[in-house]
């Protein structure tokens, strides 16, 4: 983790290490996205004394360094996840706030085609679908 912080051109500090550890543990392998307040609550439970302003600052620094991705889902404040370089889109339940990440090759291909039809070369995109979650996840 300290190497990741150094490669980003940031000084390795205790708060940065703890925040990165939380983000990696909580968001790397599932559909969890954390807000600054979520990180703050996790740190409080662990008896860590890191202020909310510091957490906001570190999360923003990590975003600017490409370590984290920020999302502003409708009706929500900023949430973050580890940026592992894999592109994915999101489904959001409008009742519960549940977030499901997905990737669909057909959708990705069609988006590139649409961009080309309008004279664009697609560099990036954000697709967020809002709906009502109806139960168990489909087996993948």
Q: Residues marked as binding for Zn(2+)? A: 93
Q: What share of the chain is helix, strand, coil (3-state, %, to 5)?
A: 40, 15, 45
Binding site for Fe cation: which residues? 87, 89, 125
Apex 36 CA angle, 31 and 41, nearest 5: 90
Binding site: which residues? 87, 89, 93, 125
Number of alpha helices (DSSP H) and beta strands (DSSP E) in the chain: 5, 5
Apex 126 CA angle, 125 and 130, nearest 5: 150
Q: Give the tokens for residue 1.
A: 């983790």
């Amino acid at each position: 983790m300290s190497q990741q912080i150094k490669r980003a051109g940031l000084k390795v500090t205790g708060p940065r290490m703890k925040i990165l550890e939380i983000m990696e543990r909580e968001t790397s392998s599932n559909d969890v996205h954390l807000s600054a307040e979520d990180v703050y609550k996790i740190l409080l439970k662990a008896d860590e004394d890191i202020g909310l302003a510091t957490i906001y600052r570190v999360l923003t620094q990590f975003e600017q360094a490409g370590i984290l991705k920020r999302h502003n889902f409708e009706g929500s404040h900023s949430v973050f996840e580890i940026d592992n370089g894999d592109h994915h889109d999101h489904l959001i339940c409008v009742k519960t706030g549940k977030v499901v990440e997905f990737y669909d090759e057909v959708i990705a291909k069609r988006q590139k085609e649409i961009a080309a039809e309008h004279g664009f070369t697609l560099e990036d995109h954000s697709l967020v679908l809002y709906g009502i979650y109806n139960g168990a996840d489909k087996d993948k």
